[in-house]
Structure 1
């Protein structure tokens, strides 16, 4: 961002711009995404938009960071309370489905169409990935054997990759709401974590 909003009105303007940008990106894809279109939908002047976002890539990065924050908020929420393994896995899977269902078309465009990260957005992405992976490490550590026979870090990496792959594939195909998909993903994770050597 060109400058950080300091007052409530400025924050509301930035939020409206990000929300409008997310809608346009989801509806029209990267090819139809313009700052003029975003300003129109947000109900602000193009000058107001440029006051905060110097170009459309910086706006897309703000949209991507907002998405990261939504995913992390869901993951933080799954840590609450004492639960059995199956209850915890169900909370994790449901949370990831919800986070990616908020705007599945936006998620698909961010994954498949938007150009890669620049230096500052790479740092934000790396910070997101670090917390994302830490969540899975904590999750695995809470259900693994106390003798440490399994490599919790590798298990966490495999688990996060499996969940992410299934969720992203389902988002692309428009089947995130499938109860069968959810149930099979829960069964797969539980079977993996209940294996004898874990």
Structure 2
């Protein structure tokens, strides 16, 4: 029996044809994604067409087709763009700064991962998540998880003043709680739970968990 790789013909067909390599091409793709978000806000998924994108950007339809065979491919490219933006923001705002104590670094790490509306964060919402089945393959979810895990590992490694380093299992558990919680919050949109409030509460719980993890390791080292 053939192994199930998690790919589907529909999802595989709804992908950008190529990634921009030159500055002009990157500018063009960014303009398309910016127009995509504007149209999405105004008209939703039904309003997103290659013609609408061409009119909004002033880019020829033929140029659009050089990169995107259909609007699902635009969405697929945009979702990847969102992830690249998140990874970049984690690097520049969480990992790279040298003036953050560990509590503020962790709070920022959690807030950005949980989708807080901060500078550099790309727009993503419930309706986009509902279309995920049209564009996503299992291998893409795994790649996103691995990329996020590497950033979380680097962010916690940058916490020089953290009393004890969390174990690899603890880091993975915290990431899964934050990333999985973000996706479920978008999915169910629970009444009375604003994203910013949830994000702040998650950050508080994670800081407590890291302190408790340090205490647990100390107790184990002391034979308690």
TM over 0.5: same fold? yes
Match of 1:188 in 2: 205
Partner of residue 62, structure 1: 77
Structure 1 residue 53 corresponds to structure 2 residue 71: no
Query: Would you say the 8 A contact 2:90–2:109 is kept in 1?
Result: yes
Partner of 1:79: 95
Q: Cα offset for 1:35?
A: 1.7
Q: Which has the higher helix share?
A: 1
Bigger drift between 36-45 and 19-28 goes to 19-28
Tell me if the contact between 2:90 and 2:112 (Cα under 8 Å) persists in the aligned partners: yes
Larger CA Rg, structure 1 vs 2: 2
Gaps of 5+ in 1: none
Match status 1:88 vs 2:102? no
Q: How many Å apart are 1:108 and its aligned residue?
A: 2.4
Query: Using a 3 Å threshold, how does the CA distance of structure 1 residues 70 and 137 change in structure 2: closer, same or farther?
Result: same
Within the alignment, does 1:38 sit opposite 2:43 as a pair? no
Moved more, 92-101 or 21-30: 92-101
Preserved CA contact (<8 Å) 2:35 2:53:
yes
Relative to structure 1, is the Cα distance of residues 139 and 15 closer, same or farther in structure 2, using a 3 angstrom cutoff?
Answer: closer
Please tell me the root mean square deviation across aligned C-alpha atoms, in Å: 3.2
Compute the displacement of 1:185 (Å).
2.2
Q: Does the Cα contact within 8 Å between 2:109 and 2:155 map onto a contact in 1?
A: no
Using CA pairs under 8 Å that are at least 6 residues apart, name the structure with larger relative contact order, 1 or 2: 2
Cα distance change, pair 115–33 in 1 and its aligned pair in 2 (3 A): farther
* 2:194 equivalent to 1:175: yes
In 1, distance between residues paired with 2:121 and 2:155?
Answer: 24
How big is each residue's C-alpha offset from its partner over 1:157-196, in whole Å with a ceiling of 9 and x where there is no partner? 21112222444455564833x4x44432221111111112
Distance 2:179 2:86 in 1: 11
